[in-house]
Amino acid sequence: MELDTLTNEHVEIVAKYFASRLEKKTAELLELVSEDIESHSARDGTYKGKESFKKYIEKVKPEGKWENPVLSEDNRTVIMRGVVKILFVSVTVKSAFTFNKDNKICKINTSKA
């Protein structure tokens, strides 16, 4: 079950998630996500479950320039915006992080901003 209202604590968790991702600290990163994590991006596809997600983060390197995470206007997700290169073209994207009742990241949806 997803949380209806997020707080600055969730923003800090996303910041820690991204720092772990950049530093390739896979074990630390996996502590922050739920067993049934679902990650989707138009470029990289959909990954469901912690094992599938682990393979994804080990295969796909983080790239681009990213802003600090912020709460969405409705406080239901934490948003990170960034600019990544796709086939040598700079594309502005945003990742929306959703949390479960255990304060674990349960969904990450990355799309064009």
d(CA 46, CA 50): 12
Per the DSSP assignment, residues forming a β-bridge with 45 are: 41
Q: Which domain holds residue 95?
A: 8-112
The answer as to whether 33 is a domain residue is yes
The answer as to whether 36 is a domain residue is yes
6 alpha carbon, distance to own chain's centre: 15
The answer as to whether 2 is a domain residue is no
Model confidence pLDDT, tens digit, residues 24-65: 999 999 999 999 999 999 888 999 999 999 999 999 888 889
pTM: 0.94
Neighbours of 34 (CB within 10 A): 19
Number of domains in the chain: 1
d(CA 56, CA 80): 19
CATH number at residue 44: 3.10.450.50
Model confidence pLDDT, tens digit, residues 57-113: 999 888 889 999 999 999 999 999 999 887 788 999 999 999 999 999 999 999 998
